[in-house]
Every structure is written in structure tokens, then in C-alpha cells.
Amino acid sequence: MSAPGKSRMPRVARPPEVPSGSDTPADLGLYRVLRDDGTAAPTTDPALDDDVAWRAYRYMKLMRLLDARMILLQRQGRVGFYGACTGQEAVPIGCALAIEPNDWVFQALRESSMMLVRGLPLATYVAQIFGNSGDLLKGRMQPSHMSARQVNQVSWSSCIGNHLPQAVGAAMAAKAKGDGQVVLGFIGDGGTSEPDFHQALTFAATYQPPCVLICQNNHFAISVRPWSQTASPTYAVKGRAYGIRSERVDGNDVLAMTHAVRRAADRARRGEGPTFIEAVTYRIGAHSTSDDPSRYRTQEEVDAWLARDPVSLLRRHLVTTGRLDDARDKALEDELNATIAAAVDEAEAHPPPPRESIFDDVYAELPWHLQEQRQEMVDAGPAPGHGGSG
């Protein structure tokens, strides 16, 4: 037993792992394409199609601006909650650019932006944050828990980690059907401490389904550091321990993420089994609008990671390669801000979901007794203080 008044586990202080041009982690390396100055390393440059970097920049910048706008709306009381992905945009955008339209995504908190790359209208996306009748989920999910069948993307669960076995199960079904689909499943570094993570890797290794499992190591499970989650030198070695092909990728380098996930998805599609990827990134902002990160980290640490901010890094690359200048960047920002403003106006104008919608989406054919209950609710008219049909 520990002495009275003393902690059983001493507090461990460890500096953050900031990827740099000279960083070579001891285990499984760190795949990177973009140097700090934005140039591509010739030995690792995958020479992706010319439009990949531009599309990536457009969507990453869109998310950076949208996050800022949504946080402002939350502070104004117009939405109740928001989880931004500031500093982590390269992972979801790179992944979305790497997969096929018929592939499935089981996201965690910070991958919902993949839905926009895959074709979901921005106003529909924003309506989910408001939770009104424009929301595909009819206001039933918490804000920032997007889902859309039309782009094959499943909402994450705030019960951390339990969507990862679902992703593996969906991949097992795809393998059984032989339809060529690949499933991406996401988890955060803190989620690797959950039993569901280990169950998912056990099934993935044993049955070899076509899946790519991605851990966003953003260095915080809300406020808990990686070294309080694991004694392993990296998260990637956990996948290798289960017998799964595993690698570490610079999660702030969108070109590296796109190439690594595309390779993994292609292998899975060829029947070569799963891949586990640790995307090394950093959460620049708060965990959510309910969080104050200044209570558990220093601004100096944040500034160190800002040197490889994914949006700025890709901007340097586009400038270096002659595809972007200040004028074009300003025009893009003005266009995106106008697009966001129009989407917010459209989404916010929707009324609340009608009360009778609680009977939807459970049965293919509504049983007679529920039909009667639904009609009684409609006949009763709107509830006090609740306009519209509900």
C-alpha cells in the first residue's frame, strides 16, 4: 500500500512529440511527404494527381473556417455543442480523398468532414448541428454526431470505442458478400484503452476483413496524455502485436495521409487484409466547446505544433509548387465564407422536427397501434410553445 496522503502513481511529465524534419521515432518510423518548408521529399513523394492537393486544401480550409463559425454560434447560444477538428483536418480530408464512393466510414468525433468531401451538402451537414427538421437524423443525435446513408458514413458513439468492432463487422460482411467495399474505422488515442479496441483488432487479425483502422493520436483523450494511456512506444505497435500490418503516418501531412490510406485500401480490396494506421497529429483547439485546454497544457506546447499546422503546411506546398498565391487564397477564403454563411442561413431556417417523426425509422411498415398513436398526436395539434406541425 502507498503511504497515507501520497499518490499511488506519480505524475509523469513528458514533452510533446512534435514531428519535425529530423524526427525519426524508434518504432515503425513516421511516414511523411511534406517537409517543414512545404517542399515534398523526393524519396517519399507519391506524386499524386495534381488536383488532390488543391482539393485537400479547399476542404481543409473550409473546415477551419466552418469550425470557427460553429464555435461562434455556440457561444451565441444558437447551437448547443460543437466539437471542432482544428489542427487535425489533414486526417479526415486525406482519408476521404483516398477511398471509393461505395466504401463505408465508421467515424470518431473528428472525421465527420469526410461526408462533405464525399458529397453531402453543407447545409444538410450544418442542420445536424442545429438538430432541426433539416437534419437527416431528425434531431435525435447529439450535435457533431453526423451520419448519412447517402455517403455511407455512420455516426460515432460517445460510448468511446464501440464503433470500431462495428467497422470490423461491416468489413467482415463486405468480405462475405464479395462486393469490393472497404471499411474505414476510426478511434482516438484514448479509445485504445477501451476493450472494444482490442476486440476489434482481434477480429480484424483473425478474419482478415477489408478494413483500414485509423487511430488519430492527437495527444489528448480530452485532457489525458498518451503516456497515461499506454507504456507502448507508439500506438502503431499495438496493431502489429495483433498480427496486423501497421504503420505510423504524419497526420498533419495530408499528402502522406492520402497516400498511406489509399495504399491500405487498395491492399484490402485485393484481399490482403486489414491495416492499422497511427496518424500522429495534435488537437490545436479545445476538445469541444465544453472544454478549457489551458487548464492542462501550455501555449508554448501549442505554438510548437503550430509550426506544422496542416493547413499552413499544405499552403506552403501549394505556394512552392506555383498553384497558390495570396490573391487566389484570399478569393478562396471569401468564397468559402460566403458558402458557409449561406449554409448556416439555410440550415437555421428549418423549424424543429415534427413531433410525429418519433414514429419514423423504426419499422419498415408501422404497426397499426403505432399508426393510431401517431394520428392521435397529429390530431392533438402542436404542443404549447411549439410551432409548426409538431
Query: Tell me: the pLDDT tens digits for 335-384?
Result: 999 999 999 999 999 999 999 999 999 899 999 999 999 999 999 887 76
User: 41 falls in which pLDDT band (50, 70, 90)?
Assistant: very high
Residue 144: phi and psi, rounded to 5, are 65, 25
Residue 61: phi and psi, rounded to 5, are -70, -40
Q: Name which residue leads in pLDDT, 14 or 103.
A: 103
pLDDT at 141: 87
Task: Indicate the Cα dihedral angle 209, 212, 217, 222, nearest 10°.
Answer: -70
pLDDT at 24: 40
Residue 13 has pLDDT above 80, yes or no: no
Closest-CA residue to 275 (of 256, 296, 261, 291): 261
Residues in Cβ contact with 332 at an 8 Å cutoff, skipping those fewer than 6 apart: 58, 61
| 200-224 tens-digit pLDDT | 999 999 999 999 999 999 999 989 8
| 239-263 tens-digit pLDDT | 999 999 999 999 999 999 999 999 9
Residues in Cβ contact with 99 at an 8 Å cutoff, skipping those fewer than 6 apart: 105, 182, 184, 261, 262, 265
Q: Could you give the CA distance from residue 144 to residue 291 in angstroms, rounded to a whole number? A: 15
Segment 154-177 mean pLDDT: 94
Residue 269 has pLDDT above 60, yes or no: yes
pLDDT at 362: 86
Does residue 146 contact residue 153 with C-beta atoms inside 8 Å?
yes
Segment 294-313 mean pLDDT: 94
pLDDT at 386: 56
Residues in Cβ contact with 229 at an 8 Å cutoff, skipping those fewer than 6 apart: 189, 190, 192, 193, 221
For residue 368, give the 3-state DSSP assignment. helix
Residue at 71: amino acid letter: I
pLDDT at 249: 97
Which burial class, exposed, middle or buried, applies to 149 when counting CB atoms under 10 A from its CB (0-12, 13-18, 19+)?
exposed
Q: Name which residue leads in pLDDT, 229 or 97.
A: 97
Q: Could you give the CA distance from residue 179 to residue 103 in angstroms, rounded to a whole number? A: 10
Residue at 116: amino acid letter: L
Q: Could you give the CA distance from residue 331 to residue 8 in angstroms, rounded to a whole number? A: 57
The number of residues making up the chain comes to 390
Q: Could you give the CA distance from residue 108 to residue 358 in angstroms, rounded to a whole number? A: 26
User: 385 falls in which pLDDT band (50, 70, 90)?
Assistant: low
What are the grid coordinates assigned to 29, written together? 518510423
Model confidence, pTM:
0.89
Residues in Cβ contact with 212 at an 8 Å cutoff, skipping those fewer than 6 apart: 182, 183, 184, 185, 261, 264, 265, 268, 274, 275, 277
Residue 1 has pLDDT above 50, yes or no: no
Instruction: Give residue for cell 496486423.
Output: 244
Q: What average pLDDT does the structure give for the chain?
A: 90
pLDDT at 384: 66
Segment 93-114 mean pLDDT: 96
| 287-300 tens-digit pLDDT | 888 888 999 999 99
Count CB-CB contacts under 10 A for residue 292: 9
Residue 389 has pLDDT above 70, yes or no: no
* 206 HSE (CA, 13 A, CB side): 9
